[in-house]
Amino acid sequence: MTALRPERESDTSYGQQSYGVPGALEDWSGDGAYGAAAQPGAYPSGAVAGVYAPVPEPYAQPHSVSYEGLPGEPVRGEPYPPPVDEETVALRIPDPPPAGGDALSGSPASSAARGDGPAHGGRAARRKAAKRRHGRHGGAPDAGLSQERGAPLSRVEARRQARARRPGPAVVVSRAIGEVFITTGVLMLLFVTYQLWWTNVRAHAQAGSEASSLQDDWASGKRAPGAFEPGQGFAILHIPKLDVVVPIAEGTSNKGVLDRGMVGHYAEGALKTAMPGDKTGNFGLAGHRNTHGEPFRYINKLSPGDPIVVETQDEYYVYKMASILPVTPPSNTSVLNPVPQGSGFTKPGRYITLTTCTPEFTSKYRMIVWGKMVEERPRSKGKPDALVS
């Protein structure tokens, strides 16, 4: 804007002059308000009141009137400059980061780079951020982003996602096979647990009950020596070195004798053997090495001279371990002969034979242990030294 100036000194004040009086519109060239030279395009002196004289010079010519215009208004005669982005004119305080920004970076630049926050900078930066958020051509965000923002899916997208989540035939078959394997493994584990643990628990309980019942009958005189029924207990076997105390029953059947944790006497058919009280012969016994009480599991640890004691209602029969046959076929019944083959005995006597399966947890072969009677002691005289020491 132009500066303030004092009024001209005249005989009549400025407000009292008539509009048509000469001198009302003075010539600004000589004694104008500013005393400056005539300016191109200025009003000439002597102009008729109310009529503007044409400007002789083109409007585009630069003028030197002290009026500079309002701030931001272009100067006359010059082309309009291009608009300026206000955000890049001068320094400014950056916007504060969003409340839920990245916990690691915490900077607006990182959120703008990810495309999940407001983009800062000029128009180009904002345009790039918009492309990252909405695709190359400014389309709608993808289905995953729509789901994250809670936007509803169309039917086509929902069906497509349902088909993608649905397992294929190969996956279904593999799952079924896996379930079969898992079920089979669980059943096998239960079977092994039953065989190796529960059968022993049950057989030990049955054998202990049978031994207690047998001793009670002996004390009360209910049982008399003589012939015994299959499965009937008639003696007790003691192996002190192995801490074995197990009843001896008539017969070698699995269900009636061996699986109940007892030791069976070979007393049937061609495999019939002598009784401990016979004056000559071979007293043959069979027992499990694994499971069902496993009374003969460690007979391979017996050494020559170790005592083996058979307790009956009236007598104690003490044998000394003589020899062992580690492996032989199950068909080798000669080990039960009155003078067993391979035992080292050459003449008739009073012998004992212990038979069991080998190797452990199989029944492919048999292990044989022999002993020779060295003492017969009546129960009335007390226990033999082998059971006392």
Candidates 215, 367, 192, 378; CA nearest to 297 is: 367
DSSP 301: G
State both tokens at 115.
Answer: 């495309």
**Cα three-residue angle 302-306-309, rounded to 5 degrees:** 110
DSSP class of residue 357?
A: E
Is-cis flag, bond preceding 359, omega within 30?
yes
137 catalytically annotated: no
Catalytic residue from among 260, 265, 288, 377? 288
Residue 365, strand partner residues = 358
Q: Which of 337, 317, 207 is nearest to 260 (CA)?
A: 207
Catalytic residue among 292, 297, 350, 357: 357
Verify whether residue 366 is a known catalytic residue: yes
Catalytic-labelled residue, pool 238, 265, 289, 366: 366
Annotated catalytic, 379? no
Chain-centroid distance of CA 356 in Å reads 46
* 365: Cβ contacts below 8 Å, ≥ 6 apart: 327, 328, 329, 330, 357, 358, 359
Rounded CA separation 274/250 (Å) = 12
Who contacts 387 (Cβ-Cβ below 8 Å, separation ≥6)? 238, 240, 309, 316
Q: Hey, CA dihedral for 98, 104, 107, 110, is it positive or negative?
A: negative
Q: Exposure pattern of 81-108 as b/e (b: 16+ CB <10 Å)?
A: eeeeeeeeeeeeeeeebeeebbeeeeeb
Active site (catalytic) residues:
288, 357, 366
